[in-house]
Chain A
Amino acid sequence: MAEYSLTTPLTDENLAQLRAGDVVKLTGTIYTARDAAHKRLIDLLDKGDKLPFELQGAVVYYVGPSPAPEGRPIGSAGPTTSYRMDTYAFRLHSLGLKATVGKGKRSDEVKQALRDHTAVYFGATGGAGALLSQRIKEAKVIAFEELGPEAIRELTVEDFPLLVINDAHGNELYAVPDRPAAGIADYAPPA
């Protein structure tokens, strides 16, 4: 497992070298978007309108931060569960999105999109919102302000700590549950 320092926007060369389990310290500009914001982004694409940020080489962080106390750019800002954005992610990857940051499993469709478009899925530590916010130096809302915590924000991050969960080569870091060890190898869901 290697450690890399990368700067946005990300390139195919940046991402082709990464393998599941690698540690990445990310510096530069990333964009927050979660459930409602993704729906709006797709609506814009369907209408043929421009997105509020450049997708090519972009990193989207699945997060809805808590409000910023005085003197801080942002409140707590850990990842939200990613699967809810799966229906949108493969389309955004096809348009140049290079990485997403969240927690939890992705669909087969998203994993295929990562292979097709040389992109990766990064994990950040869920629940460590206070800790992760220390790596966010600036934050400003750039779209959908009315969505409150779900608005799209442009974040400036420095050495933001990430772990490669799904790489561009089909590898995944998550442990496969050991069903036989837990005594549920023969489990059949209730009718």
Chain B
Amino acid sequence: MREIDAQTIIDRVAAMCVSANRNLPRDVRRKFEEAAAAEESEAAKEIFRQLLENCDLAAESGLPLCQDTGLAVFFVEMGENVRVKGMTLREAINQGVIKGYEEGFLRKSACHPLTRANTGDNTPAIVHIDLVPGDKLKIGFMAKGGGSENMSRVTMLAPAQGWEGIKKFVVNRVAEAGPNPCPPIVVGVGIGGTFELAPTLAKKALLRKLDDANPDPDLQAKEEELLEAINALGIGPMGLGGKTTALGVKISMHPCHIASLPLAVNIQCHSARHEEVVI
């Protein structure tokens, strides 16, 4: 059994919270540059110019890319031969969030859902833990902002609605969201599983790189089909019109009940902040 000191996790999580909020992933930035070149409208080009300047400024100044530094969401793959020493894994992650959000001057956005009182330290984090073979600990972090999260939806389709029903629901959701979630967006789609699994699949799909290919060629083709339909909406950067409404679509699938077709759409704003560490 391999032991990992809780302090190691705390420090790595804290560093990842700060870094992810200041540095946009390279693949996302590259998409901004490609999309800016492809846009024809002046308004769309201007938005990309501002977003690129914002990226440079955040990296230089130490200010976060966006003031909404999100709820801290983690997808953890924990090797079955790993043990955390000193506290539970969940406690260590929360301690890392407290440290990172304080030291990085990141906004604490977690609050009581009814009284709306801020918890003050951006915890508790949202932590999904999977046990996997091996002795490594992989921690994926996402700073999930509220504006785009609010535009997300889950639904239970009838099996007969099939792919056509899925496609229309997803594209319609993006049309209804319009300028609200800070387009250009990334669209995570979870198909199958159960009522609670579908949105988790959709969210985890957002951790994938924009330029990776889905290992399932059929799903890869479906991601491209959805992206093309979404961009045909013409919502454009910040809703001002243009060719780029979404930078990418990522689908995750899981078998479901013979009676069901659960579907979730998790929308990610253009500030698609996420990082991963392997300990």
Contact = CB atoms under 8 A, between A and B. Distances in A.
A63 B67 contact: yes
A183 B169 CA distance: 11
What size tier do the contact residues of chain A reach? Answer: 35 or more
A160 interface: no
Contacts of A147: 118
Given A68-B105, A177-B235, A182-B230, A190 B69 contact: no
A130 B150 contact: no
A83 to B, nearest CB: 7
B180 interface: yes
B63 A66 contact: yes
B269 interface: yes
12 contacts: A66-B69, A75-B64, A83-B180, A103-B182, A104-B147, A123-B238, A134-B57, A149-B67, A177-B175, A179-B233, A181-B233, A181-B234
B155 interface: yes
B214 interface: no
Contact of B179 (A72, A129, A174): A174
5 tightest A-B contacts by CB?
A104-B180, A175-B241, A177-B175, A126-B182, A76-B67
Interface stretch (B5-13, B47-55, B188-196, B198-206): B47-55
Contacts of A67: 105-107
Given A127-B270, A175-B236, A184-B171, A77 B67 contact: yes
Interface stretch (B79-87, B123-131, B157-165, B247-255): B157-165
